[in-house]
Amino acid sequence: MPQPTSEAYAFDPLDFEDTPRGDVAPDGAAPQRIASTLRAAGIDAPSSLYDEALALARDGHLGQAVSRLHMLLCLDPDDGDALLLLSRVNSAQGRSSEALAKLDAAVAAGVVAPPGFRDLLESQLYADRNREEEHRNRVAAREQGELKGLRQETRQLRTDNQRLEMEVQETLKRERIWKLSTIGIALFSTGTVLALMILPPITPAAEVLTATPIVENPAVSPADIPLDPPAAEIQQPPAAAPVAAPPVAAKPSAPVLKPVKKPTAAPSAEPVVAGKGQVYTVQPKDNLGKIALKAYGDASKWQRIQDANADVLKGGVALKVGMKLKIP
């Protein structure tokens, strides 16, 4: 659909520069001349309009009655009876101020006002003004109440925003603490594992004894090796040979063999638990890395304990003394 252009609005409905239809300039007396012409022709238009307006007012058609009376007053503006009837119709419509003005115009035209009618109109006007004042007061009170409610809601919203900001800051703080603690535990576990990898393994004494090489001497038979030589032979040095005797090569002494102890078994990789059901009770200065080191010999397996006790730890790593942990 094409949009209207500015040419479509070239006509100005408020421009009343039309060409007059008559040669006589208007003097405002056309209604009176019409009424005079009608009377000369024997037509009483004002009386007919008055009777129609009265009949319409009795039937409750107040708007049509007002239009007939306005037509009558155009023909005869000084018709006091028409002004009085119009005042009564306006009073019935609840237009007290207009009714009072029309009553004053009727009295000025020589019509006697009905007794008590002015007092009735003034009381209606006073009541209308009171109702208008009460309405304004109610509107003002409602506006004040709404404004007060809006201010309270604004204050409540500000309080809620401040509380939410504090909760967000507290949550961020807890998150930072949790991250730092997790990083610390991870670094501690990594350092423990590196220390275990760097330090040399401790060999039991029995393995050292069994690993000592024994020098074999073919000149010495196993029967010649005393299992438990006397203390005198160990403490006393061998006697020197006589000078005159030819040098004799001394027999090499066999190494003293001690009883070989049975090597102890290597520490088991099974978890160290307390009580039935593989439950460990947290001790002072314990953490998941230490408990994993005790249980598995490997501190890096602390996450297995954390996963097995998610209901107790609630996703964290903080421990309390006396806490019961399941060792998976």
pLDDT digits (tens, 9 = 90+) for 243-259: 455 555 555 554 444 55
CA angle at residue 148 from 145 to 152, to 5 degrees? Answer: 135
Cα gap 271→308, rounded to integer Å: 14
Cα gap 68→17, rounded to integer Å: 31
Q: Retrieve residue 66's tokens.
A: 């007002």
As a whole number, mean pLDDT of residues 197-218 equals 53
pLDDT in tens, 265-301: 444 444 455 434 589 999 998 998 999 998 998 999 9
Q: What is the pLDDT of residue 229?
A: 45
Cα gap 270→275, rounded to integer Å: 14
Whether the Cβ atoms of residue 323 and residue 281 lie closer than 8 Å to each other: yes
Q: What is the pLDDT of residue 231?
A: 43
Coil, helix or strand at residue 279: strand
Say whether pLDDT at 221 is over 80: no
Cα gap 66→53, rounded to integer Å: 7
As a whole number, mean pLDDT of residues 184-195 equals 81
Q: What is the pLDDT of residue 151?
A: 92
Q: Retrieve residue 78's tokens.
A: 């000084």
Q: Which of 35-49, 62-76, 202-216 has the highest mean pLDDT?
A: 62-76
As a whole number, mean pLDDT of residues 36-51 equals 83
Whether the Cβ atoms of residue 76 and residue 34 lie closer than 8 Å to each other: no
Q: Retrieve residue 210's tokens.
A: 């069994």
Whether the Cβ atoms of residue 87 and residue 106 lie closer than 8 Å to each other: yes
Strand partners, 305: none
- Residue 178 or residue 206, greater confidence: 178
Question: Structural domains in the chain?
Answer: 29-114 (1.25.40.10), 272-326 (3.10.350)
The helix (run of H) or strand (run of E) holding residue 324 is strand 324-326
